[in-house]
Amino acid sequence: MNGQNLSAGTTCERLRRVLREDRSAWKHAVWIGDLAEQADAPALVRERERLQHFLEHHLEPHFAKEEQEIFPMLAERGFVRQVEEAIRQHAELRRLRARLAEVSSGDEGGMRAAFDEIARQLRAHVRYESSFVYDDLKLAEVEEYQEDISMLLAEVAGG
């Protein structure tokens, strides 16, 4: 990787948006994990709707953006194996979302297990992506990118 890989600012801006969404995904993963550990049955039922909303309306568009805009660019730059693995992880998280939708509200154990699995897979996924997606952004001489990247890296390292 070298500075020339950084094409126009649009690439940086796109990466930066994705980076911010990844930071948000990380925070959601922590929230979901806390619920799996601590929420009682009524709270799980209540929060399940918010979780479904997040997965369908925030995480899914984020995945789609990565798959359509970011991953092809990264594959071209040599991250073929990493992109394949990230796409596999997306499929796994989509499978877990479908499973969560099928768990009956009366099944506390099933819901808790679904929350827990989503939290763990999502954390692992954000951590995995943070190891290669932002490589180019690190080279950009824009202080804000550096700040956002260091914050994400600190967050995923701490979890």
Sites for Fe ion among residues 66-85 (CB under 5 A): 66
For 106, counting Cβ atoms within 10 Å of its Cβ (0-12 exposed, 13-18 middle, 19+ buried), the class is exposed
- Asked if 148 is part of the footprint of Fe ion (rule: CB under 5 A), the reply reads no
- Please choose, out of 6-14, 18-26, 35-43, 50-58, the segment that lies near Fe ion by the rule CB under 5 A: 18-26
* C-alpha distances out from residue 150 to 10, 80, 119, 155, Å: 21, 24, 22, 8
- Please choose, out of 22-30, 37-45, 71-79, 91-99, the segment that lies near Fe ion by the rule CB under 5 A: 22-30
Shortest separation between residue 128's beta carbon and Fe ion, angstroms: 8
Which two three-digit tokens encode residue 100? 């969560």
The residue nearest Fe ion at its CB is 22
Q: Residues near 62 by Cβ (< 8 Å), separated by ≥ 6?
A: 18, 21, 22, 25
- Asked if 155 is part of the footprint of Fe ion (rule: CB under 5 A), the reply reads no
C-beta neighbour count of 91 within 10 angstroms: 11
Q: Which is nearer to Fe ion, 48 or 123 (CB)?
A: 123
- Asked if 22 is part of the footprint of Fe ion (rule: CB under 5 A), the reply reads yes
Size of the residue set binding Fe ion (CB under 5 A): 3
Are 112 and 37 spatial neighbours (Cβ–Cβ below 8 Å)?
no
Shortest separation between residue 108's beta carbon and Fe ion, angstroms: 30
| Chain residues in the site for Fe ion (CB under 5 A) | 22, 66, 129
